Homo-oligomer: A and B are copies of this chain.
Amino acid sequence: MARKSRAGSNRPTLADVASAAGVSAITVSRTIRSPGIVSEKARRKVQEAIARLGYTPDPAASALASRSSSTIGLLVPSLTNNVFSDVLRGVYDGAQGTRFFVQIGNYRYSALEEEGLIRTFLSQRPAGLIVSSMDQTPEGRRLLQAAPCPIVQIMETGDAIDMSVGFDQLAAVRAGARHLRDRGYRRPGFISARMDPRAQRRLGAFRDVTAACGQLDEARILTTPQPSSVGIGGHLLEQLLARAPDTDAVMCNNDDLAVGALMEAARRHIKVPDQLAICSYNDIEMARHMVPALSAVATPRREIGSRAIAMLLDEIGAPGSVTERHVDLGFEMIAREST
């Protein structure tokens, strides 16, 4: 339990390894970064010396000398939202075992904070960047365009700066809305929290579909700027039913909301799906285990993360080598018991 002493460490350096192995420093550097161009004999000597001295490279020195760090920046709008924790897992699993570190920046759904983070990340000369939207500020977009590293924009399809991995969010919402219509529901509502630009666009897609079949009723659309949560889902359904008691289906912009709505329905002894259908969005693990099991538009969050990091690593390894630069991973409308 003693306080730590802050003794100066005497870590071995490249030069130490070099003299121990009887080669020059640069040969050591090369055996580490590109073993292929070093002779079998030298490589063995160096590796032996590295192991014996317990050498680990100093990433700061490497970054300074090469003008590029081994950091990969990942910008997300939220750490709470389950959607991004799945993406995160995909990214981390893909970065596992490489020489790259992932550094997360949370811009809390603020484009201004995002711009600041872009600036901060770029000052680190990252090896690559993954950003969670196409909705940067003009300045943020300019910074990304000028960045000397590959960039993957995730979650959506659309006008990407460099590369992108996502799916058509609007088509996904439309699929949910059509599913409700096809199941015979005629008075569908929509609830959403945290109206960031993407949520706004999804609501637009819902309006389009319901308007097209004459079912659009603004009284059934309820949103709040608060962050999404199970509790908020319950509240939103409560308010929706107060305003439009004959609503017979509700499209939820998020799994949290759907679970909250489902619980609120249970509390009010509203039968799901007979009296009220609930359709969820994203389909986190929990959704399928609810009673009744939640129908949902399933989105490939984990795959987005792992594909994004894979593309980035490829492109970092060999710039220009990634030919499929814009990937649409699709989505799936999964009907379960709640509709």
Contacts and interface: CB of A to CB of B under 8 A. Distances in A.
A85 B89 CA distance: 12
Nearest to A260: B289
A222 to B, nearest CB: 17
A288 B147 CA distance: 46
Contact of A286 (B124, B161, B259): B259
Contact of A104 (B104, B145, B162, B289): B104
A60 interface: yes
Contact of A60 (B4, B96, B104, B124): B124
A69 B60 contact: yes
Interface string A47-78: 00000000011111101100101000000000
Contacts of A7: 146, 148
A179 to B, nearest CB: 23
Given A58-B123, A69-B60, A231 B289 contact: yes
Contact of A61 (B58, B64, B119, B291): B64
Interface in A274-301: 285-286, 288-291
Contacts of A8: 67, 148
Contacts of A306: none
A184 B199 CA distance: 47
Contact of A285 (B101, B229, B285, B319): B229
A6 B231 contact: no
Contacts of A3: 162, 320, 325
A17 B56 CA distance: 34
Contact of A123 (B59, B89, B162, B230): B59
Contact of A291 (B79, B148, B149, B263): B263
Given A79-B88, A101-B103, A6 B123 contact: no
Interface residues of A, number: 66
Interface string A1-45: 101101111000000000000000000000000000000000000
Contacts of A58: 64, 123, 125
Contacts of A266: 291
Contacts of A119: 56
A6 B79 contact: no
A256 B85 CA distance: 15
A306 to B, nearest CB: 13
A270 B292 CA distance: 15
A320 B6 CA distance: 11
Contacts of A92: 79, 104, 106
Most chain B beta-carbon contacts within 10 A, residue among A1, A9, A89, A150: A1
28 contacts: A1-B160, A1-B326, A3-B162, A3-B320, A3-B325, A4-B149, A4-B150, A4-B161, A4-B162, A6-B319, A8-B148, A9-B146, A56-B119, A59-B123, A60-B64, A79-B85, A85-B85, A92-B106, A101-B120, A101-B124, A102-B103, A104-B104, A229-B285, A230-B289, A231-B285, A234-B289, A263-B289, A263-B290
